[in-house]
């Protein structure tokens, strides 16, 4: 068995060592632009370079080193549809995402962002607390990561809401779905958390029209993809005060350019795409297990629905 491995960061040796431990029967070949790879049974990548596409068309399955698929589905028309594309399930990302979002929510609920600004200005002014029953949290996306975030937030007693493309349910969460449910979801969400997959239908979903439906003084947390947010619209709504503050971990251009106006807006908190990092060992174990399932002729979980985009 031969596995073709592509890492944009070039850090392939640790992955090769982990595969030697968890799938010793496999030979791992590193994809290089200047060297045509030998025939391979499987491929592992995230956002493959265009030159890699011919090799991807020859494998039994393509495994992604992340939960989303937008990095590869931009080439969907050039990949045979009989080759399944398999994303990671949780693989340790769920708890990281829950930590990040919970921190951001509590920072706004307890007004720590305002206390941070006061401290920098040398001010000592206790502020009235938000009412918990009015501090509704709305999560866009109810996949593995969205569900994990909602589960973590349940512990704090906030009113919880969620929106998904198709109808879903979760105990203790008011669920909405489809275009008809989006307006109602937005109008009742004091904090909007984006955990959607990036598809043609969800690109720019957080535009001026939709973000204006959030209550006055709402908060935005985006840990999905930068293209979900119309960045100039968000900046306008933050400056107007309609959106009180935003925490953003993802951007249309990464690293975020130094001249980007977000850097100069103190009410926008920026982190460098670290909300849920791929954990290598957990990912290798999961991919190795799925390869063995395929070799035994068994179905595997987390196969991308290429029509839906996730």
Comparing CA positions, the residue from 69, 27, 34 lying closest to residue 48 is 69
β-sheet bridge partners, residue 3: 28, 42
Dihedral (Cα; 23, 27, 28, 34), 10-degree rounding: -170
β-sheet bridge partners, residue 170: 173
Distance CA 29, CA 34 (A): 14
Distance CA 66, CA 227 (A): 17
Question: Starting at the edge strand that comes first in sequence, how are the strands of the sheet with 27-30 ordered?
Answer: 27-30, 2-5, 42-45, 61-64, 85-86
Comparing CA positions, the residue from 135, 100, 123 lying closest to residue 269 is 100
Distance CA 84, CA 264 (A): 44
Distance CA 211, CA 237 (A): 8
Catalytic residues: 225, 273
- Please confirm whether the linkage preceding 255 is cis (ω < 30° from 0): yes
3-state secondary structure of 218: strand
CA 122 to chain centre: 37
Distance CA 297, CA 146 (A): 31
Annotate 238-277 with b (16+ C-beta within 10 A) or e (fewer): beeebbbbbbbbbbeeeebeeebebeebebbbeeebebbe
């Amino acid at each position: 068995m031969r596995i073709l491995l592509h890492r944009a960061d070039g850090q392939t040796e640790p992955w090769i060592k982990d595969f030697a431990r968890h799938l010793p029967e496999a030979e791992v070949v590193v994809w290089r632009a200047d060297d045509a790879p030998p025939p391979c049974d499987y491929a592992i990548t995230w956002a493959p370079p265009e030159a890699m596409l011919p090799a991807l068309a020859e494998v039994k399955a393509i495994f992604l080193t992340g939960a989303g698929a937008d990095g590869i589905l931009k080439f969907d028309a050039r990949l045979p549809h009989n080759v399944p594309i398999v994303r990671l399930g949780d693989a340790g990302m769920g708890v990281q995402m829950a930590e990040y979002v919970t921190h951001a929510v509590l920072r706004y609920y307890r007004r720590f962002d305002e206390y941070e600004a006061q401290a920098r200005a040398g001010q000592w002014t206790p502020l009235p607390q938000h009412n918990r029953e009015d501090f509704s949290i709305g999560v866009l996306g109810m996949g593995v990561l969205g569900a994990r975030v909602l589960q973590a937030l349940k512990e704090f007693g906030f009113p919880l809401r969620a929106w998904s493309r198709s109808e879903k349910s979760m105990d203790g969460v008011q669920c909405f779905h489809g275009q008809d449910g989006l307006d109602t979801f937005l109008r009742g969400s004091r904090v909007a958390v984006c955990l959607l997959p990036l598809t043609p239908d969800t690109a720019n979903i957080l535009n001026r029209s939709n973000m204006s439906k959030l209550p006055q003084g709402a908060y935005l947390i985006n840990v999905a993809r930068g293209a979900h947010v119309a960045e100039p619209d968000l900046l306008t709504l933050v400056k107007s005060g309609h959106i009180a503050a935003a925490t953003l971990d993802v951007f249309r251009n990464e690293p975020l350019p130094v001249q980007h106006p977000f850097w100069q807006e103190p009410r926008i908190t920026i982190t460098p795409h670290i909300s849920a990092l791929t954990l290598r060992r957990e990912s290798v174990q999961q991919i190795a297990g799925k390869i063995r399932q395929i070799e035994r002729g068994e179905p595997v979980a987390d196969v991308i629905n290429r029509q839906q985009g996730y």
